[in-house]
Amino acid sequence: MWYVVIMDEESRKLLMEGARGFGHPLSEEAVEAFAVYLRELLKWNEKMNLTAIRTEREIVLKHFVDSLSLLPHLSEAETLLDMGSGAGFPGIPLKIVKPRLRIVLLDSVRKKVDFQRHILRTLSLSDIEAVHGRAQEQSIIEGLGKRFDVVVSRAFADLQVFLKLSLPFLRPCGKAIAMKGKVTDEVIQGFREDIKAPYVLEGIFRFVLPRTTLQRTLLVFRR
């Protein structure tokens, strides 16, 4: 499917550069899908507070490119749960780039789930579902439990809470990936000391968003 949507040329280059940096050059169709996503997010954000990030360049950089930072860690994954997905990050950008990845978006805010569903319909994305609810709800656990190779989130400040909530949804040997901003060595040492069974800290991956000094950190845990 092709779209006639204009994305600022600088934003387009930034998106393509970011994707290449994570090992996944974008097709023209994928770039146009991101342009549609961007347009709809900006339009909906005028009526409701989906994200505090409101400029085109910042959305491309801090939402789209940041979401794609997970790509190097999903080579073996077939299923992914995006817990606390907000306006669809990182799940929808990952689906655009990896169409065979089966994804569930989970969020407790109805208006955000409504927006996610709108984007999924608009882009005709299949094998991705937007679910309204909380990870700790028994009905959600019963419906989605033990289904996922990867659980990921940008929404949780408390790492232990994220790991605890992720556990019922992970298959054996699945990964829980916490997306963070800048994390100091002292904080990381604290993470190492606090990790409890059945998780092991598989890796810490730091990077800088392209053309910025904004530092990001991925903490990857293996069940």
- DSSP codes, 162-206: HHHHHGGGEEEEEEEEEEES---HHHHHHHHHH--TT-EEEEEEE
Is 30 part of a structural domain of the chain? no
CATH number for 197: 3.40.50.150
Q: Residue 186's pLDDT is what?
A: 86
Classify residue 189 by burial, with Cβ atoms within 10 Å: 0-12, 13-18, 19+: exposed
Q: Residue 192's pLDDT is what?
A: 79
Of 77, 83, 86, 103, whose CA–CA distance to 222 is shortest? Answer: 77
Is 186 part of a structural domain of the chain? yes
Domain interval for residue 164:
70-222
Residue 176 CA to residue 202 CA, distance in Å, equals 10
pTM: 0.94
Residue 85 CA to residue 105 CA, distance in Å, equals 6
Q: How many domains does the chain have?
A: 1
**What's the pLDDT tens digit per position in 98-111?**
999 999 999 999 99
**What's the pLDDT tens digit per position in 39-77?**
999 999 989 989 998 899 999 999 999 999 999 999 999
Tokens of 146: 């033990």
Tokens of 60: 């491309």
Indicate the length of the chain as a whole number: 223
- The total of other beta-carbon atoms located within 10 Å of residue 8's CB is 13
Is 193 part of a structural domain of the chain? yes
Q: Residue 5's pLDDT is what?
A: 55
Is 23 part of a structural domain of the chain? no
